[in-house]
Chain A
């Protein structure tokens, strides 16, 4: 079974600062993918970034980067130069690659609030 742990239920960050959202995972799969989604107050789920377990480079997508430490089983999301519009719930998720479970397993989320 897969498990995602997000230990920060809420975070307050000043605008323009960088923020790191923590995510640790547990799986017995050799090949897996890690995802981050953003959920604004309007409720939709917005895909942000993906990291494969065999990717040697950390994923980056604009202001988002994923700090992937495989030995520590962590996949932290880093948002550089935070903006007011970044205020939202952030969910870390994972699923198997190349067989095994296809559904995403989500963490409980981190509620990020950017303050002016």
Chain B
């Protein structure tokens, strides 16, 4: 069964460093998403991406965040200058279409900023 994959599973970085989180969505899906989950809290939407551009973003997704689909398979989230409060689990998700279609989540990348 096709699945969303994410690398790395765990990333430790120092405050102020740049990190890139990588995702490979399900191959025939067209919509891609990033969410984050701070430990013990609810999952929060960051950004959605379609047709090589951002279709929606939340207030969390400020200028330090960016997303890219550098090739036909990868989807990346870049955090330019990490802060302690960026420590969280980051989930990538993909969907065949909008609306009624479920979003399939990857296993997540746990980001720890020290």
Contact = CB atoms under 8 A, between A and B. Distances in A.
Dominant SS among interface residues on chain B: strand
A43 B89 contact: yes
Interface in A93-110: 93, 95-98, 101-109
Interface of A: 31, 33, 35, 37, 42-47, 50, 52, 91, 93, 95-98, 101-109
Given A47-B104, A47-B105, 8 more contacts: A35-B103, A37-B105, A43-B110, A44-B107, A47-B103, A101-B56, A102-B55, A104-B43
17 contacts: A33-B99, A33-B100, A45-B108, A47-B103, A47-B104, A47-B105, A50-B100, A93-B43, A97-B99, A102-B31, A102-B99, A103-B45, A103-B47, A103-B56, A106-B44, A107-B42, A109-B42
